[in-house]
Structure 1
Amino acid sequence: MYMGSGGTGGAPGSTGPYEDPEIVKRHLVQPSEAEAGPSEESSIQGTIKGKQPEQVGGAGLNEDEFSSLRLQGGDVTRGIYKWTEQAEAKNRLHRSQSFDHSRPEPENEVEDIHAIKVPGGFRRDHLRRNVKSPPGNVSEAEHGVPSPGGAANERLFTSSFLEFLSIYGHFAGEELEEDDEALGPNEYFGDDYEDDADNEREPMEDSALLPPNKRKRRRKTRGGSGQNSPMNAALLLLKSFVGTGVLFLPRAYLSGGMLFSNLVLLGVALLSYYCFVLLVSSRLKIDGSFGDMGGILYGKWMRSVILFSIVLSQIGFVAAYIVFTSENLQAFIKAVSDCKTSISIPYLILMQMVIFLPFSLLRDIGKLGFTALIADAFILIGLGYLFYYDVLTLATDGLADIIMFNKRDWTLFIGTAIFTFEGIGLIIPIQESMKHPEKFPRVLFLVMIIITVLFTTMGAFSYAAYGSKTETVVLLNLPQDNKLVNTVQLLYSVAILLSTPLQIFPAIRIVETELFTRSGKYNPYIKWQKNVFRFFVVMLCAGIAWGGADNLDKFVALVGNFACIPLVFIYPPLLHYKAVARSRLWKYSDIVLCIFGFFAMAYTTSMTVMNWANSQPKAPGYCERRGLGVDAW
C-alpha cells in the first residue's frame, strides 16, 4: 500500500514510497479473527459461508495453526501476508526467535488423513502423539490414545478405593511400591550377580572400556495423583482410621471409667488433629516424606528414628490383628461345635502365619485390592450389628455396673485411645493425592469429628451395656449361641485376616529399602534374599503376637503408648519447630507439646508394663461359664 512520496516513515534521505507494515496488517485477517466463532467468522469471511474448516484451509494444517491459505482467495493475497511477515522480521533482533504456541488438544484416535498426506505430515503427527503428557496421562501418551475426558474430568466416586490401596504404597510419604520387581514378558533373570565382586574391583588392563551397567533399584517419582476431591479424601481418611481399634475401646472404657474415658478420648482426638495439622504444615514447606523431613531438618539420625517408629507401630498393629483374629476364631469354633472342639491360640497364630507368608511376597500392592475390599465390607457389617445389639441390650436390661474413673488401670485407656486414632502414616499420601492440598486441614477436621463420634458411641454404648463383664474383644460379649452372632464373628475375623497383609506391607518395604540397595528384578539371588527377609518379618510378627496373646488389651495399650505416641505427639512438633515455626509462641508450643509427648510415653508405657506384670487371670469364657469341657488341640 503506497501512501504518497517523501513520507516521514521512509528511510532517512529516501525519496521512495512510504511503506508501513503495521497499517497494512490492520486490514488483514489475524489469527484471533480466524479462530472466532461461527457468527464472527461469517462477518469476516462472508463469502465462504457454509464451508467446513477442512474445506477452507489448506490440507494437513492443524486446527490451531493459522494460515492465510485458509481464507477464500488466499493464494491471491498470499504475497501481501508474506510481505508483512518479512517486514516485521527485519525490525526484530537478529537472533533465534522464541514463540508462544499453545499445545494442541489431544487428537481423536481416528487419524486425519489430510494432515498426514502433506509433506512432513507423518513427522508432525508423530510429534503430536508422543509429546510429553501431563502427570496422570503417561500410559495414554505411551499408547498414543489420550483419555477422552482429559485431565480435567472428575475422578469417579468409586475410584477412591483404588486410591486407598495406592496410598499404602506411599505410606508416611515414603515410596514403597516396587513394580519393577516383576519381570516383563521379554525379560529374564541375568547372571550379573556372580560378577559383583569383580565389578567392584579397581579397573585394570583386562577391564572392559564400557563396563556393564549395574541394575540398581529404580526410584519412582514421589508425589500423589493430585486429582482427589475433598469428598474422596474424606473417604480415604475414614477407611484409614476405622479398623480393629474401635472393638478394643469398650474394654478400654472399663479400664478408664465412663467419665474419664469420654473426656480423654475427646482430648486425644483434638490433640491428634492438632499434631496432624502440624505435620501437614511442615509437609507444605518441605517436599519430602515423614522420614525425609526429619532427615532434612535434623540429619540422618532423625530419619532413622522416625522410620523405626513407623516400622515398630506397624509390626505392633499386625501382631494385635493376629491375636484379635485368633481369639475370635477360637470363640467361633467353640460356639459352632457346642463347646466340643477348641483350637488353642498358638495354633491359630501359626495357621495365620502360614497364610501371610505367601502374601508377604507380593510386590504390587494393587494385588491386595480384593482382600481389602472384602475386609471393608465385613467391618461395616460387624460394626452395624454390634451397635444394634448394644442398643437392644440397653433397652432390655438397662444400664450395667459402670464406674466413672478407674484409679488402677486408667493408663491402659490412653494407650488404646491413641492406638485407635493412629493413622498418621496415611496423612501425607492422602494430602498429596488431593487436587487442592491446602483444603486438607478442613477435610481432616470433619473426618476427626465423625470418627470421634463413632468411637465414643461404640465405646460408651458397649461399656454401658456390659459393664464389668466387657470382654477384651467386645464381640465375645454377644450371645455365642446365636447363629447370626457367629456369622458376624466369622466375617469380622476374616476382615481383619484379609487386611493384615496391607498393614505389614509398609513395615516390610521400609526396612527392605534400607537393607537392600539393589533391585531383585534381574537378580534371583537378591530377590530370594528379600523373600527370606519378608518371611522373617512375618514370623517376627507371629512371635510377638504369641507373646501378647494372653493380655491383648495390655498389648494394644503398650503398642499405643510406646510406638504411637512418638509418631503423633513428638515428631510432628519437632518438624514444625524447625520448618514452620517463626514466632516465639509457635516455638514454645512445639517444645511444650514435644515434652508432654515424651513424658506421656514414658509414664504410660511404664504403667502399662507394671499392669501387665500384675495382671489377673483371664475371666472364664463362654464354655467355662456353661460348665462344658472342651477338647483343645
Structure 2
Amino acid sequence: MKNRNGETLNMQRIPDMDKESNPTTPLNVEAQDYNPHEHRNRPHPTTNAETLIHMLKGSLGTGILAMPNAFCNSGLITGTIATVLIGILCTYCLHVLVKAQYELCKRLKVPILSYPQSMKVALEQGPTVFRRFAHISPIIVDGFLIVYQLGICCVYIVFVATNIKQVADHYTTPLDVKIHMLILLVPLIIINYIRNLKLLAPFSSFANVITFVGLGMILVYVFNDLPSISEREMFGSVRNFSLYFGTTLFALEAVGVIIALENNMKTPQNFRGTCGVLNIGMVVIVILYIIVGFFGYVKYGPEAAGSITLNLPMDAVMAQCIKVMFAVSIFITYALQAYVPVEIMWSTYLDHHIKENKLFWEYVCRTIVSLVTFILAISVPRLGLFISLFGALCLSALGIAFPAIIEICVLWPDKFGPCKFVLLKDITIIIFGCIGLVVGTYISLFDIIESFK
C-alpha cells in the first residue's frame, strides 16, 4: 500500500510471535544479544539510497502543494522558522518512536512490532496511571489511523474534483464542484474494489513520474514575474498560526511511512544517526517545503489556495495539463489510501466475526469506506481547511504525543537521565501535541462552519 503521496508501504500489522515472544512478556526481562534487525525477513529489502528516494518521492504530493496556503496563514518569516522547527520536532519524534520500538522488539525478542502493538506493550509496563489504558490503546491508535486515512481520502476527492472543475469549466458549461464529486463517486468505488495492490503498481509508478514533472512545471509558473517579498506579510496572526500548524504537520508528518520504510531496509541500523537516512531525507524535504511555501506565497499572496494548482491560470494549456496530471495522480493514489482503513477495519475487527460470504462483505466494507469519504468531501468542500483539520486532529497525536508516551513507558521508571531530563522533555512534547490537537482542531472546525455562513 502507499501513503498519501504515493509511497509504497508494507502493511504487516501483526508480526508472527511464538509463545516465547508474546507481547505481554514483562519488559523488565533484559534482552541479551537479540538484535531485531537480524531477524527481519524481507524478501525485497531496500538499500539506503532507495529508502532515501522513497522518502523524497513520498513528500511530493498534496502536502507540498498546500504549503503556500500554510505560509499565507503564518507569514514569510514565521512560516520559514516554524517549518524548520516543526521539521525538527517531527524528525525527533520519529527518532524517538523508531528507537523505542527497537528497544521493545529487543526485550520481546521479536523482529517487528506494529504501532498499535508498540503502544499496548509500552503502556502495560509504564507508569501505573498508563496501564489502565493498555487494553484499549490499540483501538485508539487504530482509530486515529482510520480517521486520518479517511481524511486523506476526503482531501483527495476535493482535490481531484476542484482541479477537474477548473479545467472543465473553461471548455464546457460550469458545474458545481459537488457535481464533479458525484461524477467521481462510481469510479472511486470501482478503483477501491481492487484487492490486489500489485495491479495498481504500474499506474502508481506512472503517477509518481507525472507528480515530479508537474511539480517542476508549477515552479516555472511560481518564479515567472515573482512579486517583491516586501508585498507580503512577514508575520501572521496568532489565530491563523493553528491553521498553518495543521497544514504543515499534514505535509511533513508521515509516521506510518517512516515506520514502514525502516522496517523494509536492508540495513535498518543506518536509518537513524546524525547522517542517517531519516535526517538526510527530512532535511531535503523541509528545504523543498520551505521553497514551495515561501515563493508560492510570494507569488500568490493572500490568494494562495488550498492547493497551489488552483492558483494556476485557468486558460493556459500548460496549467490545465498540470491540473489534469495531478488529478490523475491523486485519483490513482486514492485506492491506495482507502486500502489502509479497509485493511485495519476488515482484518482487525470484522473478518473473524464473519463466517460466510466474506468476499461479499469485504466489498460492502470497501463500498462503505468510499461512500463515507464521498459524503464528508461533498459536505465540506474546503480543501485547505480539510488539510489543516486532519493534520491537527490526527498527526498531533500519532506523530508527536504518542511517541513521547511510548518513550516514557520504555524508560520507566529510572532511565530518564540526570534530573529526569528525558521525562520532562517528553511531558513537554505531550503537552505541545495535545495543545496542537485541541486548538488546531477547534480553529479548523470553527472556520469550516464559518465558511458556510
Q: TM-score, normalised by structure 1?
A: 0.60
* Rounded Cα–Cα distance in structure 2 between residues aligned with 1:257 and 1:538: 36
Please say if 1:484 is aligned against 2:318: yes
- Structure 2 equivalent of residue 210 of structure 1: none
Q: Secondary structure at the match of 1:479?
A: coil
Please say if 1:534 is aligned against 2:366: yes
- Structure 2 equivalent of residue 576 of structure 1: 407
Contact persistence 1:166–1:366 (CA under 8 A): no
CA-to-aligned-CA distance 1:376-418 (integer Å, 9 cap, x gap):
1111111101111111121xx5447311122142211110000
Corresponding residue to 2:9 among 168, 174, 183: 168
Q: How does 1:497-576 map to 2 (within 5 A)?
A: 497-518=331-352, 525-549=357-381, 551-576=382-407
Q: Secondary structure at the match of 2:265?
A: coil
Q: TM-score, normalised by structure 2?
A: 0.83
Please say if 1:420 is aligned against 2:251: yes
Corresponding residue to 2:120 among 274, 295, 320: 295
Instruction: Between 296-305 and 603-612, report the one with greater CA deviation.
Output: 603-612
* Rounded Cα–Cα distance in structure 2 between residues aligned with 1:222 and 1:326: 42
* Rounded Cα–Cα distance in structure 2 between residues aligned with 1:312 and 1:222: 30
Contact persistence 1:570–1:598 (CA under 8 A): yes
Q: CA deviation at 1:616?
A: 8.1
- Structure 2 equivalent of residue 607 of structure 1: 443
Structure 1 unpaired stretches of 5+? 1-160, 177-220, 618-633
Contact persistence 1:294–1:300 (CA under 8 A): no
* Rounded Cα–Cα distance in structure 2 between residues aligned with 1:616 and 1:504: 27
Contact persistence 1:225–1:433 (CA under 8 A): no
Q: CA deviation at 1:294?
A: 1.1
- Structure 1 equivalent of residue 89 of structure 2: 271
Q: CA deviation at 1:358?
A: 2.1
Amino acid at match of 1:352: L
Corresponding residue to 2:286 among 452, 456, 474: 452
Q: Secondary structure at the match of 1:300?
A: coil
* Rounded Cα–Cα distance in structure 2 between residues aligned with 1:517 and 1:496: 29
More helix by share: 2
CA-to-aligned-CA distance 1:536-588 (integer Å, 9 cap, x gap):
01100111111220x22112111111111100111111111112462222222
Contact persistence 2:380–2:448 (CA under 8 A): no
* Rounded Cα–Cα distance in structure 2 between residues aligned with 1:271 and 1:359: 36
Contact persistence 2:9–2:261 (CA under 8 A): no
Q: CA deviation at 1:352?
A: 2.1
**Structure with bigger gyration radius:** 1
Q: How does 1:142-541 map to 2 (within 5 A)?
A: 167-170=8-11, 174=13, 224-225=42-43, 227-287=45-105, 288-298=113-123, 299-335=134-170, 337=171, 340-394=172-226, 397-399=227-229, 401-407=231-237, 408-441=239-272, 442-518=276-352, 525-541=357-373
Q: Secondary structure at the match of 2:313?
A: coil
Q: Secondary structure at the match of 2:223?
A: helix
Q: Structure 1 residues 222, 364: CA separation in 2 closer, same or farther (over 3 Å shift)? A: farther
* Rounded Cα–Cα distance in structure 2 between residues aligned with 1:246 and 1:352: 24
Q: CA deviation at 1:320?
A: 0.4
Amino acid at match of 1:450: V
CA-to-aligned-CA distance 1:184-233 (integer Å, 9 cap, x gap):
xxxxxxxxxxxxxxxxxxxxxxxxxxxxxxxxxxxxx9864473211011
Q: CA deviation at 1:611?
A: 2.7
CA-to-aligned-CA distance 1:53-88 (integer Å, 9 cap, x gap):
xxxxxxxxxxxxxxxxxxxxxxxxxxxxxxxxxxxx
Amino acid at match of 1:484: M
Percent identical among aligned pairs is: 21
RMSD: 2.3
Q: Structure 1 residues 264, 399: CA separation in 2 closer, same or farther (over 3 Å shift)? A: closer
- Structure 1 equivalent of residue 26 of structure 2: none
Amino acid at match of 2:64: V
Q: CA deviation at 1:360?
A: 2.0
CA-to-aligned-CA distance 1:350-376 (integer Å, 9 cap, x gap):
222211212222222222212211211
Q: CA deviation at 1:459?
A: 0.8
* Rounded Cα–Cα distance in structure 2 between residues aligned with 1:450 and 1:353: 36
Q: CA deviation at 1:290?
A: 0.4
Contact persistence 2:120–2:137 (CA under 8 A): yes
Q: Structure 1 residues 226, 334: CA separation in 2 closer, same or farther (over 3 Å shift)? A: closer
Q: CA deviation at 1:234?
A: 0.7
Contact persistence 1:246–1:455 (CA under 8 A): yes
CA-to-aligned-CA distance 1:282-315 (integer Å, 9 cap, x gap):
1211231001111212222111111111111111
Q: Structure 1 residues 436, 519: CA separation in 2 closer, same or farther (over 3 Å shift)? A: farther
Q: Structure 1 residues 439, 602: CA separation in 2 closer, same or farther (over 3 Å shift)? A: same
Q: CA deviation at 1:241?
A: 2.6
Q: CA deviation at 1:166?
A: 9.4
Q: CA deviation at 1:484?
A: 1.4
Please say if 1:595 is aligned against 2:436: no
Amino acid at match of 2:154: A
